[in-house]
């Protein structure tokens, strides 16, 4: 009988569990240590910390989803051991005490072992203690994840180092997505972890179950803070220096550039383009990186979207088909700088006054100077300056970004050639 089916040594209703949960919730380390080290018996006792088995409790208040028939028929029961609790909260003294009393370092009644918990919490000292007492560095959790795959924060770098020193497999593919530890580091923007894994022989272009390389995973990951942006950029630069293919496609034929554009990350897009990424690549749905960028218009920061589109066009991205421009105008109406950059990339695009219908009135009023200048072009021929810009850009082609700054021209003309928006069209 599995520990799931067997009654726990300390069920949720027990006095010890109530006191233990209260101490954990308040961060009372002394009480946690006292309970685990002096009251829990045996040393590998199974402790129940949570149970939402409402199917077995007729008086339970059912969640709305259950009443609607949408709730899962399974229930969650959180079973653990004293060693897992101590490791998860970084209680080194407790971990040492339990191990000295022959606690099993690989016990995992709830699906994760103590080593998994220590790595998730970034507790290096606990990780080293467990490994020194024989914990399996490649032990798989119930989800099929090894400890290295749970090193997901900057604080877990020491844990990853300890695991590798004790024989963890750096190229282990596991979990539902068949990720390697390098994929995990890439997805969480952990540049120092990635450097560690590459130094230990991780293959920079290894594929996971979705056909992604680590570079692809990094480019598709969400970043929220400037620090996360910077770490991700450093990580991608590291992968590219290590030989990562800038144009590696996943199972949907999406390149890292597609994914970076889908997040409107201009610095990352520029890095990929400078390493030879194809600005005109099409995924299985027929979308180009430019199309992926434009799809973010409603959620991306306007400046980031504008710089992303500008970078693509300055590296030779194919233009939006002229007949599709009204659709782009509708999608990007709230970001007139993007409309300006796109419009200026054409030698001649015939503006129709009927296009004004696709722009919400409140948006038009908010950006009236720009849109007034835009629709004035319906009756105005292209100016000579714009035609000269187009001729030079056509001559330089995909190398505009690199060659324009080398031209003996004033900076204002260089930025004009590189489609820097001015706020109005003329």
Task: Kindly list the structural domains of the chain, giving each domain's residue range(s) and its CATH number in brackets, ordered by start.
Answer: 1-54+76-207 (1.25.40.20), 289-426 (no CATH)
- How far apart CA 121 and CA 141 sit, in angstroms, is 15
Task: Give the alpha-carbon dihedral of 256, 303, 344, 384, to 10 degrees.
Answer: -130
Q: 5: which strand partners?
A: none
Q: Which pLDDT score is estimated for 52?
A: 53
Cα 254 to chain centroid, rounded: 16
Q: Which residues of the chain have pLDDT under 50?
A: 1-4, 53-60, 62-75
Q: 226 has which bridge partners? A: none
Q: What local confidence, expressed as pLDDT, does residue 379 receive?
A: 83
Other Cβ atoms less than 10 A from the Cβ of 161: the count is 19
- Per-residue pLDDT reduced to its tens digit, 54-96: 444 444 454 444 444 444 444 467 889 999 999 999 999 999 9
- Quote the pLDDT of residue 27: 87
Closest by CA position to 193, among listed 205, 181, 203: 181
Tell me the pTM.
0.88
Closest C-alpha to 248, from 288, 289, 207, 280: 207
């Amino acid at each position: 009988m599995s520990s799931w089916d067997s009654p726990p040594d300390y069920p949720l209703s027990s006095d010890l569990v109530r006191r233990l949960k209260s101490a954990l919730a308040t961060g009372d380390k002394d009480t946690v240590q006292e309970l685990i080290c002096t009251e829990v018996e045996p040393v590998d006792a199974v402790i129940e910390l949570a149970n939402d088995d409402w199917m077995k409790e007729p008086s339970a208040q059912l969640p709305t989803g259950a009443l609607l028939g949408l709730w899962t028929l399974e229930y969650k029961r959180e079973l653990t051991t004293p060693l897992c609790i101590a490791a998860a909260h970084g209680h080194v003294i407790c971990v040492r005490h339990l191990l000295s009393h022959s606690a099993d370092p690989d016990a995992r009644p709830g699906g994760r072992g103590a080593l998994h918990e220590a790595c998730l919490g970034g507790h290096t000292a606990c990780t080293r203690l467990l490994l020194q007492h024989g914990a399996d560095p490649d032990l798989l959790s119930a989800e099929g994840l090894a400890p290295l795959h749970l090193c997901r924060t900057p604080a877990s770098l020491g844990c990853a180092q300890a695991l590798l020193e004790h024989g963890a497999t750096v190229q282990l593919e596991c979990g539902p997505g068949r990720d390697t530890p390098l994929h995990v580091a890439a997805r969480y923007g952990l540049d120092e972890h990635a450097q560690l894994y590459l130094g230990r022989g991780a293959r920079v272009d290894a594929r996971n179950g979705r056909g992604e390389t680590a570079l692809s995973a990094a480019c598709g990951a969400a970043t929220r803070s400037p620090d996360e942006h910077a770490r991700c950029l450093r990580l991608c630069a590291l992968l590219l220096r290590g030989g990562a293919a800038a144009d590696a496609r996943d199972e949907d034929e999406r390149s890292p550039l597609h994914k970076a554009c889908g997040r409107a990350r201009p610095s990352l897009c520029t890095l990929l383009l400078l390493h030879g990424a194809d600005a005109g690549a099409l995924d299985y749905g027929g979308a180009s990186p430019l199309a992926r960028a434009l799809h973010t218009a409603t959620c991306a920061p306007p400046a980031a979207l504008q710089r992303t589109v500008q970078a693509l066009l300055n590296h030779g991205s194919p233009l939006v088909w002229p007949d599709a421009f009204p659709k782009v105008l509708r999608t990007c109406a709230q970001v007139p700088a993007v409309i300006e950059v796109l419009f200026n990339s054409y030698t001649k695009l015939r503006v129709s006054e009927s296009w004004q219908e696709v722009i919400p009135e409140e948006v038009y009023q908010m950006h009236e100077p720009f849109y007034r200048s835009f629709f004035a072009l319906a009756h105005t021929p292209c100016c000579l300056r714009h035609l000269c810009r187009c001729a030079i850009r056509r001559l330089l082609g995909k190398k505009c970004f690199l060659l324009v700054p080398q031209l003996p021209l004033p900076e204002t003309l260089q930025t004009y050639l590189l489609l820097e928006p001015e706020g109005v069209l003329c």
